[in-house]
A and B are shown apart, each in its own frame.
Chain A
Amino acid sequence: NAGVMQNPRHLVRRRGQEARLRCSPMKGHSHVYWYRQLPEEGLKFMVYLQKENIIDESGMPKERFSAEFPKEGPSILRIQQVVRGDSAAYFCASSPSSESSYEQYFGPGTRLTVT
């Protein structure tokens, strides 16, 4: 049973470009969570999605950031017009249901560097 997959593992973008981060949850999981880890800090919740629905986006910056989890395919975290402050590790986690959302399984992360 494959774990949570994220790609790419490393992503370099110039200021102003777009970054697309992908997350495939564990098999049988339909709930996805995105977290951001800034250098020397812990993980901060960004958004919680179920298939085709955004449940909680209270941690998402108001501009430039969006997330989706379509019926088919991986969840996508999209950052438009990246700035240096977006450089961070972005982690995705999944759980099988909202009832078991306390137990989240994490992917290896995507390390975004904005030059």
Chain B
Amino acid sequence: GIQVEQSPPDLILQEGANSTLRCNFSDSVNNLQWFHQNPWGQLINLFYIPSGTKQNGRLSATTVATERYSLLYISSSQTTDSGVYFCAVGGGWGKLQFGAGTQVVVTP
């Protein structure tokens, strides 16, 4: 199966700081999603981005499919951004393979 590696595993930020999370994957993909898992366990969709660049408010993402990586940018971080961020990829119409996640803590 497709291998997914996320870095860094942990990230501590001061409120207002910017950060970049990375997702490397081992094979070509048709599906790539970024999620934020809140403290209650709910996975919240951030982006569907198998290629290209998207922005949504303070968050943006870029996937370079030919080089098999994706980046998630968080700008002007807020305490509500705390949680685990997952990258998940799929090789076709079906299951997602998740990375191990990046635990983000934003301090006031």
Chain B binds chain A: no
